């Protein structure tokens, strides 16, 4: 098994290769996302660690231990951060402490409640930019301002934001707003057992 110092060196060099930085410029105590590693690269890095260490590594290990130093320590201790090492209770209480949403005719949860309370029908004719030049399309419930995404705030370039699926941009915004509504700044959640879970549903016809 590699010792901690050896794994720190390997991780530092690998992060430098992935981000195009010099190894001497990669701080071991900065979060991976601040170093330029996205979720896809972190998952791939976990796969490389599996091959290097010769044992099963949880693909989300980079989220639980979000710096090079923390990850190296976790993987070289007697009880490494691998899948299935911690027992979970069969059931846990759930409390909804924050809420955010985007709905047709309602840009946030407060506006949505007002829409429901007033019995407002949010179905309307499609705006010109959604018709794609096709006449005769039926009215629909649509979201406004899909292009109004603060790329710099979420650490994306303008070119990256343009290539993103609008649903991904909305997801980032709504997740952030839900955390704000819950009074849970992301800085306080860093390194904790916190995740984002998505359910994809086909629209009913």
Whether pTM exceeds 0.75: no
Domain boundary, last residue among 59, 75, 91: 75
Q: Residues with Cβ < 8 Å from 49, sequence gap 6 or more?
A: 57, 61, 75
Is the pLDDT reported for residue 91 higher than 90?
no
pLDDT at res. 194? 81
16 closest CA partner among 36, 40, 33: 36
Tokens of residue 166, six digits: 């609008």
Give yes or no for a contact between 153 and 169, defined as CB atoms under 8 angstroms apart. Answer: no
pLDDT-derived band at 1, boundaries 50, 70, 90: very low
Q: Which domain holds residue 185?
A: 109-189
- What mean pLDDT do residues 45-64 have? 85
- Counting the structural domains of the chain, the total is 2
Q: Are residues 124 and 168 in the same domain?
A: yes
Is the pLDDT reported for residue 80 higher than 50?
no
Is the pLDDT reported for residue 125 higher than 50?
yes
């Amino acid at each position: 098994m590699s010792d901690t110092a050896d794994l720190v060196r390997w991780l530092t060099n690998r992060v430098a290769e992935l981000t195009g930085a010099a190894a001497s410029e990669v701080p071991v105590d900065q979060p991976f996302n601040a170093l330029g590693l996205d979720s896809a690269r972190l998952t791939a890095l976990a796969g490389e660690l599996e091959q290097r260490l010769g044992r099963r590594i949880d693909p989300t290990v980079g989220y639980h231990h979000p710096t090079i130093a923390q990850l190296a320590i976790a993987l070289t201790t007697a009880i490494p951060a691998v899948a299935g090492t911690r027992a979970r209770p069969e059931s846990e209480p759930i409390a909804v402490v924050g809420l955010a949403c985007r709905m047709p005719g309602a840009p946030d949860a407060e506006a949505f409640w007002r829409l429901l309370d007033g019995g407002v029908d949010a179905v309307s004719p499609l705006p010109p930019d959604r018709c794609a030049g096709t006449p005769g399309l039926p009215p629909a419930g649509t979201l406004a301002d899909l292009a109004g995404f603060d790329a710099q705030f979420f650490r994306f370039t303008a070119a990256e934001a343009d290539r993103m699926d609008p649903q991904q941009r909305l997801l980032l915004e709504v997740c952030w707003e839900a955390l704000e509504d819950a009074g849970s700044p992301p800085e306080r959640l860093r390194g904790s057992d916190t995740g984002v879970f998505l359910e994809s549903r086909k629209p009913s016809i």
